[in-house]
A and B are shown apart, each in its own frame.
Chain A
Amino acid sequence: MRQNFAGSNNSGKFTKKLKKILLYIVLLAGVLATLFPFFYMIVLATRGRSEIFNYPPPLWFGDSLEDNYQTLMASLPFYKNILNSLIVSTSATLLTLFFCALGGYGFAKYEFKGKDKLFFLMLATMMIPMLLGVIPWYIMMTKFGWLNSFKPLIIPGAANAFGIFLMTQFMEDIPDELMEAARIDGAGEFEMFYKIVLPLSLPGLGTLAILTFLGSWNNYLQALLVLETEAKFTIPVALSMLRGKVDQNWGAQMVGTAMGIAPIIGVFILASKQFIAGITEGSMKG
């Protein structure tokens, strides 16, 4: 009797352990499926044409990285393209932070006539599909003389509804007393913004910075429409043009792809916790 009891207890533990192992297998299968394309990108980046178009396809690293890199460099000013992406994404992020924080400050810390209506109007604009106005948007860029410049990728989105909404949410938690005290001390309205509110909104600004930088770095359609010369291409446009230049050279394409996504992945791995927290916070609040 006693032994039986012990036995059933053991088997219970055993199935529990088995279940847990099964869970890990499922989770690891997910990781494998997620990471394999990245691994394979690196494999092909190190392989020559004849090795890639052969049976069986390569599964491990080869020694053609140098050749592929040279092909890439001969096809496009790729470092210039990375620099362009950095310039566009950084300027877009800085401008967005400033204008969205300012707008969030206005909505979160002031009472004024029409506030609720204006806030609702702003939220409603988030629902509009971007494709709806893309044709006149392009025509406008032509009329402004903004083609082949970075302005269309930086300025139109600088004060966006999502960013202002996010900052409003963060700034509502800042106590009004801080501002009242500063006002009595003779601080101006804008002075309070950068002396009190901005430093207290750093977590929110971090979230918005991450989201803006990511969106800007990966933006394809708008960049494709306005950027015309290789020296102006950002990474997504440069990659898509690389296809036409070295159609059959997947090795060179994968070197470019790896270099194009490395900065974002690097930042992500360094700060994945803040990254994910920021993005969930952003989407949950949005």
Chain B
Amino acid sequence: MRLKKKHAPYVFISPFFILFFIFGAFPILFSLYLSFFRWDGMTAMRFAGLGNYRFVLTDPWFWQSIYNTLSIAIMTTIPQHVFAIGFAFILHRGMVKFKEFFRTAYFLPYITAPVAVAMIFTTLFGSPFGILNAALSGLLSLPLIGDLLQLLNISYPIRWLGDPNFIRPSVAALLTWRFTGWNIIIYYAGLQKIPKGLYEAASIDGASTRQTFFKITLPLLRPIMFFAMLMSIIGNMQIFDEPIILLGVMGGTNRAGLTTAMYLYQTAFGWTEFGTGSAIAYILCFFIVTASIIFNKYFRREI
């Protein structure tokens, strides 16, 4: 039997719609339905009305997880993009050699499995014998820098993954290490699209590098910045793999590294509260959408 031209495209695109309906749309709708019930997956479902939502929204652990997630997201998104734009600009305008080598090196962390990265960083963050603490103790023994660190009340050893004050910055540092290279590549590609003529005109007019950067590069990079930062925000709000490996399912001391994605996981699959877990999923989604809208508004207006 021959496929008619009229029917062919529908047949060709149907796998997506079939698979999406079964494995995408159905679970999402069922998740909404589940969020109004209490269910452990085995015994009968019990209708709970808005009970799950009420529970989650008054649950201090949930709000702590939102706080953790947001503060990790902010602590990693800003340095990631500042470093990435700087490095991309140097690679683009600096007339340096070995660009290919630099880009390849910077990109390595991104292709490495998050679980593997977290395993490696667990050793770097070791306390008291980890390499970062050894470096810290070296710095403390230096004359000037040591005094400065002591003034800042930093003492050896830091429990990077044990002290609640250091847990979130440590997770953010790992994420920064992992995603800066990815953003460098994105920004570098964006810079390639800026017409060379603009830079030439600027240099004829006697513009300094700094002026070129702020008057030409940054404004023209804006659409890419918007895209890349939005991706960072949406991605970082669902962060799961890295903190769960670094800190365990409950996010370490005082749950200081418990992200909302981890809390969802623990609620649904640790405590088999599928309904409450579904409510968390919907509330988290609401937060992601809200953050995207706020970012959209703010970014369009300010920069």
Contact = CB atoms under 8 A, between A and B. Distances in A.
A264 interface: yes
Given A55-B129, A283-B186, A125 B96 contact: no
B285 interface: yes
Interface stretch (A4-12, A65-73, A127-135): A127-135
Interface string A259-286: 0110011001100110110011001100
Contacts of A253: 119, 123
Interface string A121-144: 010010011111111111110100
A195 B144 CA distance: 71
Given A107-B13, A214-B111, A140 B23 contact: yes
A131 B27 CA distance: 10
Given A26-B90, A221-B240, A136 B103 contact: no
Contact of A135 (B4, B177, B244, B268): B268
Contacts of A137: 23, 27
A125 B119 contact: no
A93 to B, nearest CB: 15
Interface in A17-46: 20, 23-24, 26-27, 30-31, 33-35, 37-38, 40-41, 44
A36 B15 CA distance: 44
A245 interface: no
Contact of A23 (B94, B106, B117): B94
B129 A54 contact: yes
B94 A52 contact: no
Main DSSP-derived SS at the B contact region: helix
Contacts of A269: 104
B115 A236 contact: yes
Given A129-B288, A134-B281, A135-B31, A235 B113 contact: yes
A90 to B, nearest CB: 16
A41 B240 CA distance: 22
Interface in A43-77: 44, 52-57, 59
Contacts of A79: none
Interface string B12-51: 1101111110111011101100100000010000000000
B188 to A, nearest CB: 8
Given A103-B16, A107-B9, A268 B108 contact: yes
B245 A240 contact: yes
A64 B276 CA distance: 48
B160 interface: no
A37 B15 contact: no
B9 A110 contact: yes
Contacts of B177: 33-34, 37
Interface string A100-133: 0011011101101001001000100100111111
Given A136-B27, A221-B240, A161 B107 contact: no
B265 to A, nearest CB: 8
Nearest to B273: A135
B90 A55 contact: no
Contacts of B6: 112
Contacts of B131: 40, 57, 59
Contacts of A264: 111-113
Interface string B234-265: 10001011001100000000000000010011
Given A135-B274, A135-B277, A161-B20, 8 more contacts: A20-B95, A34-B109, A37-B124, A55-B129, A129-B285, A156-B23, A188-B2, A250-B123
Interface of B: 2-6, 8-13, 15-20, 22-24, 26-28, 30-31, 34, 41, 83, 87, 90-91, 94-96, 100, 102-109, 111-117, 119-124, 126, 128-131, 134, 177, 181, 185-186, 188-189, 234, 238, 240-241, 244-245, 261, 264-265, 268-269, 274, 277-278, 281-282, 284-285, 288
Listed from nearest, the 8 A-B pairs whose CB atoms lie closest are A133-B27, A106-B12, A156-B23, A110-B9, A136-B27, A189-B8, A136-B30, A218-B113
